[in-house]
Amino acid sequence: MFSTTTTYRVRYSDTDQMGVVYYGEYPRFYEIGRSEMIRDLGYTYKELENTGVFMPVSTVNAKYHKPIYYDELITIETTLKKMPMARMVFYHTIMNEMKEVVHTAEVTLVFLSSETNRPVRVPEYMIRALEKMTDLE
C-alpha cells in the first residue's frame, strides 16, 4: 500500500442549500488527492500529459457516510493498493476535523495515448517511481 494525505479547506462555493458540501463537489476532492499522490512520487500529472499520456476516469464508486460542512479543513487520504498496469485504482478516504470518516471512494483511471486516443500501459517512469518509493506489487 502507498498512501498520501492532503488537506482541503471547504469553501462556500462547495456548499448547497442543504447547508453541506454538494455531492457533486467530491470528484474534485478525489482529483486533489490523486494529483498530490502523483506529485509525491516525484512527477506531476501535468508532466504526464506533456509526454502524451492522458488519464481519463473510467469508474467512480462512492459512499457518502456523513455530511461535510463549510469551512471544515478536511483530510483526503489517497491509497494505491497495487501496482498499476492498464488501469490505476485510487482509494480515497475523506475525514472531517474530528477525524471521522465522512466519505470513501474508489476511482479507476485508464492511460490513454493523446496521439492515438487508445489505451496504453502505465508509463515506465511511473512504475520505476512506484517501485522505488513503495512496496506495491
| Binding region for its own copies (CB under 8 A) | 11-13, 15-20, 22-28, 31-32, 35, 44-46, 54, 56-64, 67, 70-71
Cα distances (angstroms) measured from residue 47 to each of 5, 44, 58: 21, 5, 21
- Nearer to its own copies by C-beta: 35 or 134? 35
Rg (CA), the chain: 16
d(CA 25, CA 99): 20
Cα distances (angstroms) measured from residue 23 to each of 26, 50, 64, 74, 80: 6, 31, 8, 15, 23
Q: 28 is written with which cell numbers?
A: 474534485
- Nearer to its own copies by C-beta: 24 or 118? 24
Q: Report, in Å, the least distance between residue 135 CB and its own copies.
A: 28
Dihedral angle sign, alpha carbons of residues 91, 4, 84, 53: positive
Q: Report, in Å, the least distance between residue 67 CB and its own copies.
A: 7
- Nearer to its own copies by C-beta: 107 or 122? 107
Q: Report, in Å, the least distance between residue 61 CB and its own copies.
A: 5
- Nearer to its own copies by C-beta: 15 or 80? 15
Q: Report, in Å, the least distance between residue 137 CB and its own copies.
A: 27
